Structure 1
Amino acid sequence: MRILFITHPYPNYVPDLLLHGLRKLLQNRVIDYPKKDCLYQGCLGTGVSDESLLVKGWFPDDNDIDREDIKNKIRKDYFKYIIVDLRAFSYFFKNLYQGDLRSLLVLIDGEDIPQRISPGPYVICQRETDGSDFSIPLPMAIPEEIMQLIYSYDTMEKKYSIGFLGSYSPLCYERKNFIETIATHFPDSLLKTTPVPTDDNPMPQGRIGRIDYYKALQQCKVVLNIKGAGFDTFRFWENFCCNAVHLSQRMPLFIPHDFQENKDFLSFSTATEMITNVRKVLDGLINDREMILSSRERMIKYHLTTHRATYLLNKLKGYK
């Protein structure tokens, strides 16, 4: 099986994580085209990355990746699947598409808000869906390399009751309200929100590097996830790797082999419910060790990027 993965140069969690999983499964039989340089440089999700945000070596190298004569290979049906980041949709149809494809064409919508995609000769996968819109639900997953990196700080001393370190923008106004509530009730919490990085300001004041970020989370008894512009955040997956109880805002999304509420993590919809759950953990009413171990077991079994890639390949067997 050979797969052509049409990329956009800007980092994008869902297609990038899928590409990571596919490359680990199928190695050089998965061709990223054009070569997505930022992944090999260590970028992960953040489009504007200060050096301290990079994770060198998280993405497999591109040894023996044959990017020659792609247009002719498409014409000769060299690839079983052609997977396209929706951001590269126009590039593909303008530069590579030649009609009458025998390869199955797959579009990946990894945007915060589901995009309106006209019907066409392709399968649609979406990040932000509950599975009722005829697309294939494709949430994020965690690279094993990142999971092991977070695990390496498991023995950090617990200094904070609950932690949330993230960005804010007008698209995620709820974060501000929840964070202010946490700060009022738990003065020993670790809370910090900073603007989203830009080209002019790639490292906003208060933002910390990735290693320091993971160390800080591992010093918390509870780690918090609040929706951003979309519900499926990379923080959701990172938190499950922490040696801490994960408390997450409920998400109306379909996740294959989903984590189980009150077994693998705690969830909330309102500020009152959020505070109540934090108190349960701090008062010892939750078996935190059992919950952490359960969530990690499910993560390792179902939610590495290789699992997400396998899930999609199995779904695609039902087409064409």
Structure 2
Amino acid sequence: MADGLLHGLRQLPGLEVVDYPRKECMYEGGRKCKVAPEFGVRGGGFSLYGLLREPQGGIDRSFIWQRLAAGWFNAVLISNVWRQWGSLLQWHELLATQPLLLLDGDDDQRLYPRSGTRLRQFGIGTGLTNLLQLPNTHMFKRELTNRSRKWGLRLNIHPLGFSIPESLVLSQLPTKRQLFPAHIVDCELSNKLGASFTYAFSDENAYRNDLANSRFGITTRRAGWDCLRHYEIAAAGAVICFRDLDQKPTTCAPHGLIDGLNCISYSSSDDLLKRIDTFSVLEEVELQNAALAWAKSASTKNRALQLLNYANLLAHQ
């Protein structure tokens, strides 16, 4: 989620973004750089990675904390609150003086800092309660469910999800040559069709062309409900077929998917195949166009604007 937002914020004209430290895998050539594996780039780094260019003149990443103390920034964005709470603890006095945006894009429904494991390791008194409850502190959570309880804390919580670069969303529907793509992540359907359940492509263009050639794309919940696959399928003009989508909490990403309007929710392989068989050509094309529109609405740029809007920062854009 943080990587999509970094990409999206960099697409907004007039907005100066300092990523500190530099997120190497996001920049050209970054997917193959020596440090890329340290950032946990998965799936070959498709869709989000290796796309950014350093602005002309570069980005000044020096003396970050001194510039923070001098009020140089309009806001500070923490890319993963569960992993970076040490920075919050160390610099909480500085961070309390400006808008603070805390991202929680993990496959975890618990709300920071309410984790039993964390409490056992570090105790209750972290000194962050006041910082978390400030009016200008905003928390953005992907797996936001009824398990994401505030437990007495007064927090500004906003739902947010993954995103995809606008440049990867097709402008119109391509010619469809096959029913499903080569990579089918639903084990039951994959076995029925004799398709690949694991990664089928090492080349991103081949992967994207395979999706574009497909009428329908398959996705499921994994550790969490949201993943880039949903957006990649829709961006290629294929209909998202999402197993058990009807069980997803409404506050949990992905947002805006509606069964029968821009996607298909199904409960079994037989259920899906029977339902697909009932669609007319016109109904299928309408679903595909609606999927494309959904992917455009979930572009990294739009997601960045959504973030700024939630935090009342659009005036600085």
- TM-score, with normalisation over the residues of structure 1? 0.72
What SS is found at the alignment partner of 2:262?
A: coil
Structure 2 Cα separation of the partners of residues 210 and 66 of structure 1: 32
C-alpha change, 1:105 and 1:56, in structure 2 (3 Å) is: closer
Post-superposition CA distance 1:34-92 (Å, at most 9, x none): 11111113449983569785877522434342212211111122222111012551452
Aligned equivalent of 1:127, options 134, 139, 142: 142
Q: Find the counterpart in structure 2 of residue 280 from structure 1.
A: 278
Shift of residue 109, structure 1, vs aligned partner? 0.8
Q: Find the counterpart in structure 1 of residue 291 from structure 2.
A: 295
Aligned equivalent of 1:313, options 291, 308, 311: 308
Post-superposition CA distance 1:153-172 (Å, at most 9, x none): 934x513x223626xxxxxx
2:183 is aligned with what amino acid?
A: L
Structure 1 Cα separation of the partners of residues 130 and 53 of structure 2: 32
Are 1:163 and 2:178 counterparts?
A: no
What SS is found at the alignment partner of 2:304?
A: helix
Structure 2 Cα separation of the partners of residues 49 and 257 of structure 1: 23
Q: Which runs of 5+ in 2 are unaligned?
A: 114-128, 133-137, 150-155
Q: Which runs of 5+ in 1 are unaligned?
A: 1-13, 167-174, 196-205
Are 1:136 and 2:158 counterparts?
A: yes
> Which of the two has greater strand per residue?
1
2:249 is aligned with what amino acid?
A: P
- Between the aligned residues of both structures, percent identity stands at 22
Aligned equivalent of 1:242, options 230, 233, 236: 236
C-alpha change, 1:141 and 1:70, in structure 2 (3 Å) is: same
1:139 is aligned with what amino acid?
A: G
Shift of residue 299, structure 1, vs aligned partner? 3.0
2:105 is aligned with what amino acid?
A: G
Structure 2 Cα separation of the partners of residues 107 and 79 of structure 1: 15
What is the aligned length? 274
What SS is found at the alignment partner of 2:100?
A: strand
Structure 2 Cα separation of the partners of residues 72 and 125 of structure 1: 26
Task: After superposing the two structures, state which structure 1 stretch, 223-232 or 64-73, moved more.
Answer: 64-73
Are 1:47 and 2:40 counterparts?
A: yes
Equivalent pair of 2:25/2:50 in contact (CA under 8 Å): no
Equivalent pair of 2:76/2:101 in contact (CA under 8 Å): yes
Q: Find the counterpart in structure 2 of residue 22 from structure 1.
A: 9
Q: What is the RMSD of the two structures over their aligned residues, measured on CA atoms?
A: 3.4
Shift of residue 307, structure 1, vs aligned partner? 1.1
C-alpha change, 1:212 and 1:17, in structure 2 (3 Å) is: same
2:75 is aligned with what amino acid?
A: Y
Structure 2 Cα separation of the partners of residues 256 and 179 of structure 1: 21
